[in-house]
Each structure stands twice: as structure tokens, then as C-alpha cells.
Amino acid sequence: MMQEKKKFSFFGIPKIARFLKKYRKEMLLMVLFGLSGSLVDIILPLFQKHALDNFVRGNTTDGIIVFAAMYVFSVVFAAVVNYFACCLAMTIEVSINRDLRQSAFNHLQTLSFSYFNQNSVGYIHARVMSDTSRVGELVSWTLIDSVWRISYLAGSIGVMFYLNARLTLLVLLILPLLVVLFTVFQRKILRVNREIREINSNITGNFNEAIMGAKTIKSLAVEDELYSGFVKNTSEYKKKSVMSSHLRGLFAGTMNLASSIALAIVLWQGGYIAESDVGTFSAFMSYAQGMMEPVRWLVDIISDLITTEANIERFSALLSVKSDVVDTPEVIEKYGDSFEPKRENWEPIKGDVEFKDVTFKYPDGDEYVLEDFSLKVPFGSHVAIVGETGAGKSTLVNLVCRFYEPTVGKVLIDGKDARERSQLWLHSSIGYVLQTPHLFSGTIRENILMGKPDATDEEITAAIKAVSADEIIAKLDDGLDTDVGEGGDLLSTGEKQLISFARAVISDPKILILDEATASVDTITEAKIQAAMEKVTEGRTSIMIAHRLSTVKNADVILVVKNGKIVERGTHSELIKSRGYYYELYTRQYQDEKTAKILS
């Protein structure tokens, strides 16, 4: 292990090599253009030398036309090739950013819920946005910059040696000094910048919390505490930013000083040649000045590459996360995956669901939520699940949908292990109204269409009617074309539930799952939905989770869950007769409702 760690890793680039391959040609061309531009930069001081030697000292204008033409040609040539190098760098940068983001987005869609439970939105966002942009920058601008600067540095040192080896060695003597100086500065600047970044992310966090939790903050009356935290962070940010500017100013000054020293050396030691060979002398002056920037850059770039390596590591780690729920290669071969489904091979689903000795715990949990759980739900039957908060009701339906897989045991769909067919096959036949309904930004109509993209207006109206949402939608200003806001936040929770209910039934799913689907609507609307429900669930397998027991009376079987175990099962009347836990829950709720009625 240790051995492996020490190995030079080329700044993580091999990990993303497959994304770069596509742009090999562009990168090669960019490097060639960059080299040609740099070559011109290297020979320009020689033009100066030639002019001084021939036209000034030689006191003649012979050949000046050809000289001028060559000079102009070189300058124009450099401008053109550098322009192309920049265009290519830009193209490579945006193309690679796009490719990386697309593959990350795609990959995220395949991951199971446990990944999103374990990683925050902010973390994933940073991987997809900033890590990818660092990588894009590395293989475009950083690459072309290094071509320009390194070749200029090498070329100019070569030419200097050719002109005067002794003077060159003297100028190069200050290089180690420069490197030490730059490194010291750069360490300090890096440290301050890292602190600035950290404070900045805290400030962003402050903003996030203040926006997302605006209501809660107001209701808890903690505005001043949040504000003082914000003030502390922003003041610190200001302090560190000023410090960073000071350091950068000092650094720039030192750099100028260093280049003056190099010039002084040339003047001091080269002065004697100025008389006899003013051309060489002036070329030397140009080279000595031009060397400083590339040296500073080289010191910078090393630390840049080290941070970029961390970006690449994190990004490729995201791409290599395996979902906890994956289709086997054989299944993908036959049924296709989520992006290229082979619908022609899909068996029509009947809608039988069976739990067979299922034991389950969440990938990041340590307690078993279900143990040795078995249940048969034949097609067309209606199951209700009741029980206290945290008992494991939503977990059961997560398993039916294969959002998670049993730790031990099987979930069978139509008699076959769900793992033997593709996730998309199953999900296409399930209508699921989640406990916390989520709508996408857009109109109500657009949201319902997500359940069936090619639905006609009649189908939409029918779906809305089927779940008794028609009256409520009609009351909204723009009816079906009402904008729901981000996440549906412009609507009430009850309205969101009704719309996600309509979205679930419009595709005519064989299995309908309702997780507290009507928990947030008033009792009158609930009663209407209840009446409509019999029709909606007809010809489907339905699994319904409910807190209000009055809504589950008609179920074929009621499962009473307690601490992840089914403690009772049976029809409403059977359970009432047996006078167990269900009876207790029911009478208590019934009493409460009756009291409420009398009081009102």
C-alpha cells in the first residue's frame, strides 16, 4: 500500500484519460500552435540584435526591406497561431466540461437512494460543477500555458548560451534564489486563500440556511443569532482578503526586484560587451526580463496541479461509486438499461407482489428494520399498512419498488425475483405517491404529463377526476396551467399530494402505492378521494399506507406494523374482533375524532 502511494500519479490524469482521448487531435494541434507562437517570441530579440548590429552599428539600410517584411511576417504569424491555440483551448475546455458533466449527471441517475442519503447536495453539486471545470481548465489553458512558458524558458536559455555562455550562467545564478523566494510567498498566499475559500463556503452555508429555513428562523425568532454569525464570517472574510492582497502586492514587488537584479547583472557584467556587441547586449536584456514570468508561473503551477489532482480524485470517485441496486449484465442484455430500454423484450406485468423471508436493514443503518418478513399480495388485492411512526411502513414499499434490495430473502414480482428483471421494467408499472410529494418546476399540466408524456388532454382530465382533484385545480387561477414553483412550493401540501396522485395514476400502473397520499388534505376532500379510490384501485394491486385508520377499512388485508414486525394482519372486522393492537389504535382515534366533532 505504502509503495503504491509514493508512486507518481501524473496528477490523477490517467483516471480521466478516457475523457481526453476524444480530443487528442485538438490537443496536439493546440500544442503545435503554441510551440510555433513561442518560437517567434524566442527569436524576436534576435531581430532586435540584427537591427542593432547591421542597421545601427553598420550604418546601412541594405536589406532593411526584407528584414522589415520578415519581422512583420513573424509578428503576424505569432498572432495568428496564438489565436488558433486560444480557440482550440476554449473548445477543448468547454467540450470536456460538457462531457464530464453529462457523464456525472447520467451516473447520478443510476445511483441508489443510499448515496443521496449519505452525501449532501452541496457536496455532489461541487463535484459536478467545480471539479469538472478545474479538469477542463487543466487540459486546455494550463496545458497551453505550460507549452508557451516552458518552451520560451528553454528556448531563451538556449539562445542566451549560444550568444554568451558566461553571461548566461551569471543570470541563471539568481534562478535558485527566485525559486526559493517564490515558494515561500506562494505557500503563504495559498494558506490565506484556503482560509478565504473556507470562510466563503461558510458564508454560502449561512445564506442557504437563511433562505431554506426562512420560515423556521422567523418562527423561532433567532434572526439576531444568525445575523451575528453572518457578520462574524463576513468580517473574517474581509480581513483575510486584505491580507491576501497585501501578500500578492509584496510578491509582485519582489518579482520586479528580482528581475531588476537580473538586469543589473546583465548591465554590470555585460556592459563591457555593449560597446563591441550592442546587439547581443540588448537581446540579453530582453531574455533576462522575459525569464522571470515563466519561472514564477512554474512555481505556481506545481501547487495548482496538486489541488487539481484532488479535484480529479473526487470526481472520478463519484463516477466509480456503484449503486447498491444494479441490474446484472444478463438483465441489461435482455431488458436494456434506463437509457436504452429494450421494451420489445419486456414481459407484460401482472401485478403479483410477494415478500419471501425478507430481512432488511438500510445500508447506512445498523438495526434491522424488517426481520423474516413474508407476505403475499396477489394481483388486484388491496393492502393497507398501518402502524406507528418509524415502524417501517415506508421501508416496505421502498422494497416493493426496489429502491432498496432485501439484505436477506427476496421480493417477487409475478412470481419472479425482482432482480431478474430490469429496474425500469418494474418502475414503469408502478405508480407511487410519496409521503413527501415532489413536483418539478413548471405547470400542473407539465407535472402530470411526466407520468405519461404522450397523454392527451382528455386523459389528463380523466386522471384528475379519478383522484378527485378536479375541483381543487379548477379553483386555482390558471387551472391546469398554474405554475407550481420550484419543488411545487407555490402550492399547498394537499394540492401537491393530489397532483402527484394524478401523475401516478395517469400511466395506468398495475401496482399503485400510496404512502400517506391523503394525509394533508382536509377530511371532506379525503372522503371524496376515498369514494373515488375504489374505482382508481380497481384492476390494480394497491398498497396503501395510512395514519387515519378510517381510510383503510375497505382493504382486503390490513397489516399492523410495530417495530419492523407485522404484529397483526387481517381485515378490519377481523382485527377489531381480535381486540389487539389495531383495536386499541382504532378506538383511540375514533374517540379523538368523536371528541373533536362534539367540540366543534
Of the candidates 44, 115, 599, the residue with the CA atom closest to the CA atom of residue 317: 115
Q: Report the distance separating Cα 224 and Cα 333, nearest Å.
A: 59
Element (H, E) at 559: strand 557-562
Binds 540: which of ligand ATP, Mg ion, none (CB < 5-8 Å by kind): none
The cell for 464 is 384528475
Q: How far is the CB of 117 from ligand ATP (least distance, A)?
A: 5
Tell me, residue by residue from 434 to 453, as one string, x for binding to Mg ion by CB under 5 A and - for no binding.
-x------------------
288 or 391: CB nearest ligand ATP: 391
494: partner contacted, choices ligand ATP, Mg ion, none (Cβ within 5-8 A by kind): none
C-alpha cell at 517: 397520499
Match 378521494 to its residue by C-alpha cell: 529
Burial pattern 590-599, b for ≥16 Cβ within 10 A else e, equals eeeeeeeeee
The least CB distance from residue 175 to ligand ATP, in Å, is 58
Q: How far is the CB of 392 from Mg ion (least distance, A)?
A: 9
Nearer to ligand ATP, 265 or 391 (CB): 391
Q: C-beta of 561: minimal distance to ligand ATP in Å? A: 7
Closest CB 592 distance from ligand ATP, rounded Å: 17
List the single partner that 389 binds among Mg ion, ligand ATP, none, CB under 5 to 8 Å by kind: ligand ATP
Looking at the Cβ atoms of 42 and 383, the one nearer to ligand ATP is 383
Binding window for Mg ion (CB under 5 A); candidates: 123-131, 271-279, 393-401, 503-511:
393-401
Residue 119 CA to residue 115 CA, distance in Å, equals: 6
- The least CB distance from residue 115 to ligand ATP, in Å, is 11
Rounded CA-CA distance 458/445 in Å is: 12
If contact means CB under 5 to 8 A according to the sort of partner, which of Mg ion, ligand ATP, none does residue 365 touch?
A: ligand ATP
**Minimum distance from CB of 517 to Mg ion (Å)?**
12
Q: Which range of residues in 30-38, 308-316, 322-330, 385-393 is near ligand ATP by CB under 6 A?
A: 385-393
The minimum distance between CB 410 and ligand ATP, in angstroms, equals 19
Cell of residue 580, nine digits? 389487539
Q: Least Å distance between CB 98 and ligand ATP? A: 33
| Cα 498 to the center of its chain, rounded Å | 31
Could you say which of Mg ion, ligand ATP, none residue 400 binds, taking C-beta under 5 to 8 angstroms by partner kind? none
Q: Are the CB atoms for 323 and 115 separated by under 8 Å? A: yes
Partnered with residue 372 across adjacent β-strands are: none
The span from the CA of 284 to the CA of 166, in Å, is 12
* Closest approach of ligand ATP to the CB of residue 351, in Å: 23
**Cβ proximity to ligand ATP, 117 vs 345, nearer residue:** 117
Instruction: Give the whole-angstrom CA distance, residue 294 versus residue 33.
Output: 18
Rounded CA separation 348/353 (Å): 14
Given the complex with Mg ion, which of 393 and 510 has the nearer CB atom? 393
What would the DSSP string read from start to end of 261-316? HHHHHHHHHHHHHHHH-HHHHHHHHHHHHHHHHHHHHHHHHHHHHHHHHHHHHHHH
Binding window for Mg ion (CB under 5 A); candidates: 176-184, 315-323, 375-383, 394-402: 394-402
For 78-136, the DSSP string reads HHHHHHHHHHHHHHHHHHHHHHHHHHHHHHHHHS-HHHHHHS-HHHHHHIIIIIHHHHH
| Grid cell for residue 372 | 423474516
- CB of 280 closer than 8 Å to CB of 163: yes
Beta bridge pairs of residue 410: 356
Q: Which stretch binds ligand ATP (CB under 6 A): 261-269, 351-359, 382-390, 578-586?
A: 382-390
Closer residue to ligand ATP in complex, CB, 150/567: 567
Interface of this chain with Mg ion, residues 407 to 436, rule: CB under 5 A: 435
Closest CA to 467 of 498, 507, 430: 498
Q: How far is 231 from 233, CA to CA, in rounded Å?
A: 5
Q: Which residues ranging from 387 to 406 are in contact with ligand ATP (CB under 6 A)?
A: 387, 389-395
Query: Rule CB under 6 A: is residue 117 a binding residue for ligand ATP?
Result: yes
C-beta of 515 vs 568, nearer to Mg ion: 515
Residues binding ligand ATP: what is the number (CB under 6 A)? 14
Residue 436 lies near ligand ATP (rule: CB under 6 A): no
Show the DSSP H helices in 367-432 as ranges: 393-400, 423-427
Q: Is 338 left (phi over 0), alpha (psi -120 to 50) or beta?
A: alpha
In the list Mg ion, ligand ATP, none, the entry touching 369 (Cβ below 5 to 8 angstroms by class) is ligand ATP
**Candidate segments 390-398, 458-466, 517-525, 532-540, binder of Mg ion by CB under 5 A:** 390-398
Residue 435 or 550 with smaller CB distance to Mg ion: 435
Residue 391 or residue 464: which is nearer to ligand ATP going by CB? 391
Among positions 315-374, residues that touch ligand ATP (CB under 6 A) are 362, 364-365, 369
From 16-24, 313-321, 389-397, 558-566, span contacting Mg ion (CB under 5 A): 389-397
Rounded Cα–Cα distance for residues 560 and 584 (Å): 12
Report the residue number, 122 or 365, with the smaller CB distance to ligand ATP: 365
- The entry of Mg ion, ligand ATP, none near residue 555 (CB within 5 to 8 angstroms by kind) is none
Strand-strand pairing, 408-413 and 416-417: antiparallel
Q: Which is nearer to Mg ion, 43 or 396 (CB)?
A: 396
User: Between residues 118 and 235, which has the closer beta carbon with respect to ligand ATP?
Assistant: 118
Residue 395 binding partner per list Mg ion, ligand ATP, none, with a CB distance cut-off of 5 to 8 Å that depends on partner kind? ligand ATP
State which residue, 93 or 515, has the beta carbon closest to Mg ion: 515
One residue of 140, 244, 394, 423 binding Mg ion per CB under 5 A: 394
Q: How far apart are CA 263 and CA 261, in angstroms?
A: 5
3-state SS assignment for residue 596: helix
Q: Is 493 in the site for ligand ATP (CB under 6 A)?
A: no
CA 3, chain centre distance (Å): 33
How far apart, in whole angstroms, are the C-alpha atoms of residue 183 and residue 566?
67
Sheet holding 408-413, edge to edge: 370-377, 353-360, 408-413, 416-417
**Residues near ligand ATP, by CB under 6 A:** 117, 362, 364-365, 369, 387, 389-395, 435
**Residues near Mg ion, by CB under 5 A:** 394, 435
